[in-house]
């Protein structure tokens, strides 16, 4: 089945693939900032000391993309589960797809905010909004099962 037909038939796969792709963008960003910092700040990379050396020698902003990468391994796992479950249940309505893409968009915005300036309250508001969207998506899935 051609990809255009697949996305028409199963549109919830688009946001899933989109967010997984974003993980790789954040992984590249993480390595692009951390690896040069290791030598620039002469960080001892011995496994027992790296966290201590990072905290002492490297600016916090260098760790922000890595922290965000870790965050993308947390709540988005719930997104993947519900989006794939809804896809299997045949839920391909416009609202579900829009909610899924909105969740992805908010996670991307959250990543950019955290990895550049990291204002905690702004980041929290974006996270809270994405959580509400995920809750709405999950509620639609639950209602479909009832």
Domain membership of residue 112 as a residue range: 16-145
Give the pLDDT score at 50: 67
- Confidence class of residue 42 from pLDDT cuts 50, 70 and 90? confident
Is residue 109 situated within a structural domain? Answer: yes
The string of DSSP codes covering 17-80 is: HHHHHHHHHHHHHHHHHHHHHHHHTT----TTTHHHHHHHHS-HHHHHHHHHHHHTTSTHHHHH
Is residue 121 situated within a structural domain? Answer: yes
- pLDDT, mean of residues 57-85: 95
How many structural domains is the chain composed of? 1
Q: What global pTM score does this model have?
A: 0.92
pLDDT of 52 above 80: no
Is residue 35 situated within a structural domain? Answer: yes
């Amino acid at each position: 089945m051609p990809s255009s037909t697949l996305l028409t038939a199963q549109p919830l796969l688009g946001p899933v693939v989109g967010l997984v792709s974003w993980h790789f963008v954040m992984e590249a960003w993480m390595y692009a900032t951390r690896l040069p910092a290791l030598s620039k700040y002469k960080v001892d990379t011995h496994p027992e000391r790296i966290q201590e050396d990072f905290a002492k020698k490297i600016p916090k902003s260098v760790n922000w993309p890595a922290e965000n990468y870790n965050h993308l391994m947390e709540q988005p796992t719930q997104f993947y589960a519900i989006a794939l479950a809804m896809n299997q249940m045949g839920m391909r309505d416009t609202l579900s797809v829009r909610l899924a893409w909105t969740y992805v968009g908010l996670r991307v915005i959250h990543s950019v905010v955290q990895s550049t300036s990291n204002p905690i309250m702004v980041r929290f508001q974006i996270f809270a909004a994405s959580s509400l969207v995920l809750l709405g998506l999950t509620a639609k899935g639950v209602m479909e099962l009832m």
